[in-house]
A and B are shown apart, each in its own frame.
Chain A
Amino acid sequence: MSELQSASPSEKKKRVIVGFVCERSIPIHDMLDAHQALLDDPETKIIILPCSGMVKPTQMELALANGADATFVCGCAMNDCHYRTGNIMIRERLEGERNPKLRKSTDKRKVGMFFFTMKDKRPFLEALAQFKASTENL
């Protein structure tokens, strides 16, 4: 059995996920500890912004380049951005359909995007867990 397989959960390498979250989507202010980490998932650190459309792809690249294992953005539910188009803008930027885009060299598998309402804490945490699992071996 390899070392990795035999390692207990406590010996697993600590991962860091950086999330950029719109303050009007999930109830993010109630979900953080004093160090900007999610109470339900301390590996995930959060930057709160007024709108997901404010996120620059370069900021997500900055996180990845400086040690983040993955990064994501979370905005309002699709069709229901408080500022009308912020979630559409960031989705199109991350999908390469609108400027500014991610660099071609960026591993897009490590870049996630979620769109939820203020009532979607649980679906968000589930989606985040799935995203983390999908990026675990990258």
Chain B
Amino acid sequence: MYKKFLSLTKNLTVSLEKGLNFLTTQENNPLYFHGALPLYTFWFLIFSGIMLWMYYIPTLDRAWTSVNYITSLPVLLKDASGQLLLKNGSPVVAAISPATGIPYGAVVRGIHRWGAAAMMITTLLHMLRVYFTDRHRSWRWLPWVSGVLLLMFVLFVGITGYLLVWDARAYSLVVSTQAWLEAVPLIGQGLSNFFIGGDAIRDFTLTRFFFFHIGGATFIFWLIWMHFIRLNEPVVTPSRAVNFLTLGFILVAAGVYPAVNVTNNLIAQYPVLAVDKAFIASDAPAQIGHLVEVIRYDAWYLFPYYLIEKVGVNWAWIILGGATILLFVAPFYPKDRRENIAEVVEAKCTGCTFCSLDCPFEAITMQERAPGSKFKLIAVVFAPRCSECGICVGACPFQAIELPNTHSKTIDADVLALLKTGA
């Protein structure tokens, strides 16, 4: 039943991709680079993040101001119909403090914001694609499990990015997170204190969030290493056309919708910001004890808070925890029969390394033979990693590695038999 479901999802996925091939060509179909795209968008976040880091001050009284300083010059605005505001043929430039600010800082922050959205979108796309095509189970469990951890850390780093701005929304999110953590029996209060860096919100709180954000992003690199460790020659960059398409999407989005801090003064000047700010903007500075009436949720990172608001902290734990557990156990069910694992024919193996180099899942290692042997090395198959694909068999010029149920000799005999009947 479950396998039939996976078969159906695979059919639908391949049909969708085939349809897209008409538009993009097979070589440049972004859906074939679903694994490389999150990593590609991550680089945008790293570089734009480093630029923002140069000016960000993680203290309660300076955080919002420092972000505001970064983004105060110059910003193109749009009217309610989505058109760029024009005055005498020139774009209107909104400047909160025209004498200060970082040129195009709002665009860099926009790249950070839109890059973050792109990373979550492409990560989810990658995960769904892998799941729907049944490429997450059995010997692929480590890439899947590390991928689930990556998803969690991308979410965590994204959420802490929202907190660093330290606007009114950030404060409300912190209060909501504390309530969520405190719902954990016994250690809840400790978790909450750990989260805010003490028993109350102080300057250390922002330092702690900054650590979570940068430390989490650094940990993502380690997880990516784990994600790739069992993949031979992983695809780490999309095709050139897909690269430019993604680059264009992020740059255009950041140019048209740069990220700014919206104050009441600015809204009075440009009422359109009151409508558009859900996409591009942060609120006024946070004030301890003042929660926003309505939290503006984005589509990609703040859904846990939406859940907390709608169902309460306990149900949010149950739903999010249950979903996480399901994701972690997904690669272990249903179990496949493992009856055709590659076997090395010791007497024939010359230690040439071809099979080891070509194995797509790093299942074959070369080990030293006993002293006095004719050849120095011998291939050894690590069965749990073997996918039974037979690529190693195709790589071996000496018939020294075989799939027991699909033996080369049988294939040769089948070829000859077919020629006999076909002649």
Contacts and interface: CB of A to CB of B under 8 A. Distances in A.
Given A37-B422, A47-B418, A85 B27 contact: no
5 contacts: A16-B418, A37-B422, A50-B403, A55-B394, A84-B232
Contacts of B406: 49-50, 54
B391 A49 contact: no
Contacts of B412: 59, 62
A85 B17 contact: no
Interface in A21-63: 35-37, 43, 45, 47, 49-51, 53-56, 58-59, 62-63
A6 interface: no
Contact of A59 (B358, B396, B415): B415
A99 interface: yes
A105 interface: no
B397 interface: yes
A63 B394 contact: no
A47 B414 contact: yes
Given A16-B423, A100-B395, 8 more contacts: A37-B422, A45-B419, A50-B406, A54-B403, A82-B133, A86-B394, A89-B394, A99-B395
Contact of A84 (B15, B17, B360): B360
Interface stretch (A106-114, A115-123, A130-138): A115-123
Contacts of A119: 11, 14-15, 18
Interface residues of B, number: 45
B418 A51 contact: no
Given A79-B33, A84-B231, A99-B354, A53 B415 contact: no
A40 to B, nearest CB: 15
B416 interface: yes
B178 interface: no
Contacts of A51: 389-391
Interface centre among A43, A50, A99, A100 (most CB of B within 10 A): A50
A37 B26 CA distance: 29
Nearest to A17: B422
Interface size class of A (residues with CB under 8 A): 35 or more
Contacts of A18: 415, 418-419
Nearest to A51: B389
B358 A85 contact: yes
* A-B pairs, 5 with minimum CB distance: A54-B390, A53-B391, A79-B32, A83-B389, A45-B418
A53 B14 contact: no
B389 A78 contact: no
Interface string B381-399: 0000001111101111100
Contact of B397 (A47, A85, A100): A100
Given A66-B419, A82-B135, A56 B14 contact: no
A14 B421 CA distance: 12
B365 interface: no
